[in-house]
Structure 1
Amino acid sequence: MAEIKFEITQNIGFLSEGAKGWKKEINLISWSDREPKYDIRDWSPGHDKMGKGITLTKEELITLRNILNQLNI
Structure 2
Amino acid sequence: MAEIKYEVEKHLGKVSENAKGWTKELNLVSWNGREPKYDLRDWAPEKEKMGKGVTLSFDELKELKEILNGMEELK
Same topology, TM > 0.5: yes
Match of 2:29 in 1: 29
Segments ≥4 residues shifted beyond 2 Å: none
Cα displacement (A) at 1:55: 0.0
Are residues 1:16 and 2:16 paired? yes
Q: Which structure has greater helix proportion?
A: 1
Percent of counterpart pairs with the same letter?
Answer: 58
In structure 1, C-alpha distance between the alignment counterparts of 2:42 and 2:51, rounded to whole Å? 5
| Gaps in structure 1 of 5+ consecutive residues | none
> How large is the Cα RMSD of the aligned pairs?
0.5
Report the counterpart of residue 7 of structure 2 in structure 1: 7
SS of the residue corresponding to residue 14 of structure 1 reads: strand
How many corresponding residue pairs? 73
CA deviation profile, 1:37-71 (whole Å, cap 9, x unmatched): 00000000000000000000000000000000001
Q: Which runs of 5+ in 2 are unaligned?
A: none
